Homo-oligomer: A and B are copies of this chain.
Amino acid sequence: MTVSNFVHGKAVRVRTRKLVEAAIARLNYRPNVSARSLRLAQEYSVGLVIADSDPEYLNDPFISRLVSGLSNYLSSLDFTLDVQGVAPERFEGATILRKVGNEALCAILCGPRALRKQQFDYLGRLGQPIIVFREIFAPSSPHVAIVGQDDLSGGRQLGEHLRERGVRSVVFVRPSLEWCAVEQREKGLRQALEGRRNPVAVRSVVTVSERFNDVHDTVTRELGRRTPDAIVAATDSMAAAALKACEHNGLRVPKDLLVAGFNGFDVWGYTSPTLTTVVSPAYELGRIAGELLLGRLKRGRFPRRTVSMPVRLQVGQSTA
């Protein structure tokens, strides 16, 4: 009865249509997605698994922008986004991966490279279309594509900039939890600063977490040893904390030393002085992943297996 109507606008006599509509209203009828999915073998949903030990994983401004971009694109095609954050150690057991309830998956990995590799290979074996964000491994399975940004170049751009500013020593501040993007940023930074005729010394300092207090404490301790010409932090939030630590230690930025970060979302503008940063197209990354994934579902293969978006140096007052 309802069926005939719901064959999606098939020709129906006016009287019948009225009848059906009345019944729908009366019974408060809404189609059951599970039954539909089962019958059609389509799920209309994409899963997103985020390996992050921080329970507030969505606070990361990069991740929240990426998720917005992805979710909005999916929404526009009537797909839903199924999110789950999971501690890196418990990645493989994640419910979102164990059940086939999503037609496709996206993943954001972190942790030591070996662990990430393991997670990456595990994803490849699932046999579902999958997009992994910001990863360096080459897609091994045809089901897997990688969407990222050129963090290596970002690091280099910032390195070149500092070199032009005449910096002779740099401290790079990064969180203990390993992220592929951070590794690349550091690598690019070192390439621009160390490997030349006039090498600039780069020293890495690890903070317990990305939280304000941890970064603030670590940088304060570091400044107690010796004041570098510049501090580069893995993210703008961390750079903001470093800035505060400088202020707290009576150092003026950019007069006594320079400070810079990465991402360029909001934080860079809140601080005094405003931060020099490398702008990430996080929202775009999410949207592109959505496009690739739905294209893959429709046409059966990825047009490209890796996408790398450009990043852009944005000079602020902190390195002026």
Contacts and interface: CB of A to CB of B under 8 A. Distances in A.
Interface of A: 28, 30-38, 43-45, 47, 55-59, 61, 64-65, 67-69, 71-72, 75, 78, 80-86, 95-96, 98-101, 125-127, 212, 237, 240-241, 244, 247, 265-267, 269-272, 283
A221 to B, nearest CB: 18
B85 A68 contact: yes
A37 B37 CA distance: 10
In the complex this chain forms, how many copies of it are found?
2
A244 B38 CA distance: 55
B58 A266 contact: no
A58 B126 CA distance: 29
A83 B75 CA distance: 9
Given A80-B82, A84-B81, A85-B68, A98 B58 contact: no
Contacts of A85: 68, 71-72, 75
9 contacts: A31-B99, A32-B100, A56-B283, A58-B71, A75-B95, A82-B82, A241-B270, A270-B270, A272-B272
Nearest to A94: B75
Contact of A84 (B31, B55, B80): B80
Contacts of A99: 30-33, 36, 44
Contacts of A126: 28, 30
Nearest to A57: B68
A85 to B, nearest CB: 6
Given A95-B80, A244-B269, A55 B72 contact: yes
A317 to B, nearest CB: 11
B75 A68 contact: no
List the 3 closest A-B pairs by CB distance, nearest first. A33-B101, A34-B37, A240-B270
Given A28-B127, A59-B64, A65-B59, A34 B101 contact: yes
Contact of A64 (B47, B58, B270): B58
A260 B245 CA distance: 22
A35 B33 contact: no
Contacts of A58: 58, 64-65, 67-68, 71
A19 B241 CA distance: 57
